[in-house]
């Protein structure tokens, strides 16, 4: 007799999680609570309610978390100019801590004994969900069906549905890409993408046109920053999630944000995936531009030095960790004067900085000019500066040491 009486499941309404509902009911003889989060995946989430009801679920949570997702997760991450392994903008990674938090909160609200998710035993998401859950509720029980059952193929999942009259949409032909979407990105894995040499098919992309098909005329956009976050587009104030929605549309129309990478998963394997992060691509370029005139040099370099570690922390699932909190505190402190406006030129897959301005700018035209500076900078000072910095090199060379 199982001691699990109630489980909260992260539920999309798709094939995998629909099977998981019934599998949990059959295997653990337990009540299932479903939780469906709208984090901007671009699909209606309300149909998940009818699907859950058809499976006998009595407690159904469907929540719009778009504003919280961008405000409390995406924006803090972009303050650090975060990018994993030089390319990946962490679209999937940054959504998992929010989902884990709500799973735990709903478990507390409903008196559930466990939480469950549909992540496979090969991927990073199982780690992210569970590290978050354990950090927020140390004694929580986690049920990961993909690590327990033998339903390890689409055909077996569909056969399970047939045997138990589980209502799911059956698509003919080849299996679709494994996709994950939220307001920050959409990812694609599987099928031909499992061959790193195979080029992604053009009809796979959903959020952007190809650079070749983008308009022949550039689009200009102005982003207003306050303490490192975008607060307005072209002078119009917007909530964080509306900012990202708007930038996704602008960037997608201009062929911006496509990425094809092979990344190193935390579980040890290399994985090839394609990503569309149109709005995020603009945000990264613009944030670096406004920081370039508002941040002190050493602060900027310090941020750049810790960014790979911060990115790794998020990628590996340690959002709810003391090291991420410490890094975030440092990063947020650096953003006090990251205020102003950046003007961007969007054209055929490119994001070019066309201008930047700030009342908190550290750029001093009188000092930087190549023209007459009226004594603002004494060029003779450079001689002593150079000699002092060359001192150790001169001493070593004088001793005959080779580089």
Is 305 tagged catalytic? no
| 33-42 exposure pattern, b = at least 16 Cβ within 10 A, e = fewer | bbbbbbbbbe
DSSP state letters, 59-83: EEEEEE-HHHHIIIIIHHHHTTT--
Distance of alpha carbon 53 from alpha carbon 275, whole angstroms = 33
Q: Pick the catalytic residue: 71, 72, 178, 373?
A: 178
**Residue 142 and residue 203 share a domain:** no
Q: Record the pTM.
A: 0.94
**pLDDT in the model for residue 376:** 87
**pLDDT in the model for residue 297:** 97
For 73, the domain range is 6-77+87-164
pLDDT in tens, the chain (403 residues): 478 999 999 999 888 999 999 999 999 999 999 999 999 998 889 889 999 999 999 999 999 999 999 999 999 999 999 999 999 999 999 999 999 999 999 999 999 999 999 999 999 999 999 999 999 999 999 999 999 999 988 889 989 999 988 887 765 555 568 889 999 999 999 889 999 999 999 999 999 999 999 999 999 999 999 999 999 999 999 999 999 999 999 999 999 999 999 999 999 999 999 999 999 999 999 999 999 999 999 999 999 999 999 999 999 999 999 999 999 999 999 999 999 999 999 999 999 999 999 999 999 988 888 888 888 888 999 999 999 999 999 999 999 998 7
**Residue 202 and residue 135 share a domain:** no
**pLDDT in the model for residue 165:** 87
Whether 173 maps to a domain, the answer reads: no
Whether 171 maps to a domain, the answer reads: no
Whether 304 maps to a domain, the answer reads: yes
Whether 403 maps to a domain, the answer reads: no
Q: Is 248 exposed, middle or buried (0-12, 13-18, 19+ CB in 10 A)?
A: buried
DSSP H/E element including 61: strand 59-64
**pLDDT in the model for residue 170:** 62
**Residue 370 and residue 352 share a domain:** no
Per residue, what are the HEC states of 287-329?
A: HHHHHHHHCCHHHHHHHHHHHHHHHHHHHHCCCCCHHHHHHHH
- CA 98 to chain CA centroid, Å, is 12
Whether 170 maps to a domain, the answer reads: no
**Residue 210 and residue 250 share a domain:** yes
Domain count, the chain: 3
**pLDDT in the model for residue 1:** 47
CATH of the domain at 32: 3.40.50.620
Whether 35 maps to a domain, the answer reads: yes
Annotated binding residues for L-citrulline, as ranges? 88, 93, 124, 128, 178, 187, 263, 275
Q: Pick the catalytic residue: 22, 66, 96, 272?
A: 96
Is 352 tagged catalytic? no
Annotated binding residues, as ranges? 10-18, 37, 88, 93, 118, 120, 124-125, 128, 178, 187, 263, 275
**Residue 191 and residue 283 share a domain:** yes
**Residue 137 and residue 264 share a domain:** no
């Amino acid at each position: 007799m199982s001691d699990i009486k109630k489980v909260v499941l992260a539920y999309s309404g798709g094939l995998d999680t629909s099977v998981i509902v019934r599998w949990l009911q059959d295997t653990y003889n337990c009540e299932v609570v479903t939780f469906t989060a709208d984090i901007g995946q671009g699909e209606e989430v309300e149909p998940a309610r009818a699907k859950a009801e058809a499976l006998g679920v009595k407690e159904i949570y469907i929540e719009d978390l778009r504003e919280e997702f961008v405000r409390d997760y995406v924006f803090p991450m972009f303050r650090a100019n975060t990018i994993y392994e030089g390319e990946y903008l962490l679209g999937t990674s940054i959504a998992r801590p929010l989902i884990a938090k709500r799973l735990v909160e709903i478990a507390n609200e409903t008196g559930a004994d466990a939480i469950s998710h549909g992540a496979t035993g090969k991927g990073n998401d199982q780690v992210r969900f569970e590290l978050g859950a354990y950090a927020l509720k140390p004694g929580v029980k986690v049920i990961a069906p993909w690590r327990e059952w033998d339903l390890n193929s689409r055909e077996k999942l569909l056969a399970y549905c047939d045997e138990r009259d589980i209502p799911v949409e059956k698509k003919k032909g080849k299996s679709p890409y494994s996709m994950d979407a939220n307001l920050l990105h959409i990812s694609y894995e599987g099928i031909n993408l499992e061959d790193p040499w195979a080029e992604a098919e053009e009809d796979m992309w959903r959020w952007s046109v190809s650079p070749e098909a983008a308009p022949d005329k550039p689009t200009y956009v102005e982003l207003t920053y306050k303490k490192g976050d975008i607060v307005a587009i072209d002078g119009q104030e917007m909530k964080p999630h509306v900012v990202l929605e708007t930038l996704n549309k602008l960037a997608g129309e201009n062929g911006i944000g496509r990425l094809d990478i092979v990344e190193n998963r935390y579980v040890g394997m290399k994985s090839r995936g394609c990503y569309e992060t149109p709005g995020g691509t603009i945000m990264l370029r613009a944030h670096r531009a406004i920081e370039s005139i508002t941040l002190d040099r050493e602060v900027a370099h310090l941020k750049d030095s810790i960014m790979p570690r911060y990115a790794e922390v998020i990628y590996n699932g340690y959002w709810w960790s003391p090291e991420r909190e410490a890094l975030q505190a440092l990063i947020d402190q650096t953003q006090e004067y990251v205020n102003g406006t950046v003007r961007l030129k969007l054209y055929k897959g490119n994001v070019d900085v066309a201008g930047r301005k700030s009342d908190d700018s550290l750029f001093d035209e009188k000092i930087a000019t190549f023209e007459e500076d009226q004594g603002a900078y004494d060029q003779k000072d450079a001689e002593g500066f150079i000699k002092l910095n060359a001192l150790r090199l001169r001493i070593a060379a004088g001793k005959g040491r080779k580089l």
